[in-house]
Amino acid sequence: MQNSLKLLLATALTASFCACSSHSNDSDDNSVIAFKAPVGNINFSYDVPQSQRDGFATAINSLDTTNVTTPPDGILSLMQIPDMQPATLHKWLEDRVQYIIPNTYQINDANIVEVRPFAYPNPAYIPVVAQPTRSVDDTSVHLLMLNIGSAIYVAGKKMEYLLGMNLNGLGTVDMTSPRVGVLEIGDGIFDSLVDNDQATQNIYVLGVLFHEAHHSDGNKSSAGFLHAVCPPGHDYEGIAACDMAVNGPYHVGAMMMKALASSCTDCTLAGKQALQLVYLDNENRLIGNETWDDAPEGSR
Amino acid sequence: MIKNGNLVLVSILVLVMGYCLVHMQTKENEHQPLPSMVITPPPPVPTVTATPQASTSEESQKAASEAFDRQLNETATQIPRVADLRKMSAEEAHQTPQVLLKAGKALGKIAEAVAANPQLKDQAMGFYRECTKNDDYPTSVRSLCYSDFRNLAGSQADELLPADQVAPNVIKLSKTLSAH
């Protein structure tokens, strides 16, 4: 019991360190502006740096010029969409992502509040968080994107208490479902994948975004579509960076990148190579052949 | 006010750890090229002195070839090893790590160089062949190299790099690139 408690605390401290260490990378624009207009129905807390908001908006808006005439096999059933028209893809994202917050967001008593006792659906089912089988020397890291909303939802479910997130300028958001959709973003996601190739950059950001958005799906033991530990011999052996589900976030992100890259007329050859490598890295993380129930749990 | 505040925070943080933090390593991981990855320059082309124009052209191509060799060797140093990936935390490894993105950028420049100067094709194929067979490299990199090799080799691909010389998981993964 004592050891378990120590492990919990150590893990929590490591998480805190990671969040803190990434702060130093946000220096280009930390100005808090009075109002940040939403992109579609996706809202930004007021402390998201303007540069990150702009980068995010550029990627999202690039969907408007998407023209995937022949989607890769299986992608429509994978994502349960009728086509890959821009409106369809926007809706898919907005069903799963409503709020964007900065990676400076602190998990503390001021930001995370207990709202009330809550009757969660499927109370007997709590998703299992895979524990790495390798110890790591965690050094300075650079935040890309994080579906923090799903994590808060599962934490509340474990406690049988509804939790709320205080978001700067947006008030308290009750985490009644992973579909409430709160994502943290950091500068890392906007680091240039290749030089002078915005089209490639947009596709890369969208691939990560579709991956993270899919963490808002699932119910019972599939809630949040948590990752599995990669098996012995795998490139990421011992790390919770694989999927047992063929309809998991890695495959969703990979297939979206593939589909968007295939129709990209502005991408450079170098950009397409870089995207292919990211695609392969993601696709290589499918280690099972399970199909998980992706119907969302709860309602927002 | 939060009851059992510490428990709330610990629960959330643990979940966040196991969830979907997406980080990128800021520490550079560069490597010396393996002996097998050092690209040997092709034998010197016999000097042709028929016309000053031809000489200039050959000198120019030789310079391009030498520069490309340097680029290939530099790229080899930028490809992370599997051992590097396995040292990462779940947060770093959750999305494609920065070291792999950097390798993708370098591989992209190789593809562009060959597209701009087809006479570099044989050098690139040599690089891709060694990259495909290097089991210290991540499967994703080897699969991309294998795919690129086959694209350049065309109908001679199976002859120049038989499937029995390539790891099955590399072949399998590379096939997903072309699968529609």
B19/A226 Cβ within 8 A: yes
- For residue A99, the cross-strand partners are A43, A182
Whether A16 shows a pLDDT value over 50: the answer reads no
- Summarize pLDDT for B155-180 with one digit per residue, the tens: 999 999 999 999 999 999 999 998 76
Torsion sign, CA atoms B178, A194, A79, B138: positive
Whether the pLDDT of residue B107 is over 70: the answer is: yes
Q: pLDDT at residue A221 above 80?
A: yes
pLDDT at B14: 52
Q: Is the pLDDT of residue B66 over 80?
A: yes
Please tell me the distance from the alpha carbon of residue B41 to that of residue A288, in angstroms, as a whole number: 44
Residue type, B134: N
- Chain A CB contacts of B27 under 8 Å are 139-140
Q: Taking 60 as the threshold, does the pLDDT of residue B29 lie above it?
A: no
Mean pLDDT, rounded, for B34-50: 46
Report yes or no for ipTM above 0.90: no
pLDDT score of A12 more than 80: no
**CB spacing of A141 vs B90 below 8 angstroms:** no
A129 → closest Cβ in B14, B86, B98: B14
Q: Tell me the per-residue pLDDT of A26-80, one tens digit each, with 9 for 90 and over.
A: 434 444 444 567 888 999 999 999 999 999 999 999 999 988 988 999 999 999 9
Q: Which residue of A has its CA nearest to B3?
A: A114
Suggest the residue from A161, A236, A267 to mutate for an interface test with chain B (most B CBs closer than 10 A). Answer: A236
- Whole-number pLDDT of residue A3: 37
Q: Give the residue carrying structure tokens 């502006």.
A: A33
Of residues A141, A159, A224, nearest to B23 (C-beta): A141
pLDDT at B5: 58
Share of chain A above pLDDT 90, in %: 73
Look up residue A133 and give its two tokens: 């089988």
- pLDDT value of residue B178: 86
Query: Is the per-residue pLDDT at B2 higher than 60?
Result: no
Q: How far does A44 lie from chain B, in Å, by closest CA? A: 19
Name the residue facing B138 among A150, A235, A249 (closest C-beta).
A235
Residues of A whose CB is below 8 A from B109? 270
- pLDDT number for residue B55: 72
Cα–Cα distance measured from residue B14 to residue A8, given in angstroms and rounded to the nearest whole number: 7
d(CA A277, CA B10): 36
Are residues B131 and B103 in contact, defined by beta-carbon separation less than 8 angstroms?
Answer: no
**Lowest-confidence region among A225-229, A274-278, B32-36:** B32-36
Residue B83's pLDDT is 96
Q: Which residues of B touch A148 (CB under 8 A)?
A: 16, 19
Nearest CB to A269: which of B88, B95, B108? B108
Number of Cβ pairs closer than 8 Å across A and B? 238
Predicted local confidence at residue B16, as pLDDT: 57
Q: Strand pairing partners for A102? A: A185
State the DSSP code for A39.
B
Burial class (CB in 10 A: 0-12, 13-18, 19+), A69: exposed
CA distances from A29 to A49, A106, B81 (A): 6, 19, 35
pLDDT at B51 over 80: no
Chain B residues with CB under 8 Å of A113 CB are 2
Specify the range with the lowest mean pLDDT, choosing from A97-106, A159-168, A276-285, B22-31. B22-31
What's the pLDDT at A130? Answer: 80
Partner-chain contact B11 A273, CB within 8 Å = no
- Is pLDDT above 70 for A4? no
A224: left (phi over 0), alpha (psi -120 to 50) or beta: left
Q: What is the pLDDT of residue B167?
A: 98
Range from A61-75, A275-289, B35-49 that averages highest in pLDDT: A275-289
**Cβ distance of A239 and B86 shorter than 8 Å:** yes
Segment A192-196 shows an average pLDDT of 89
Quick check: A15 and B174 CB within 8 A?
no
* Predicted pLDDT at A224: 94
Distance from CA of B180 to the nearest CA of A (A): 5
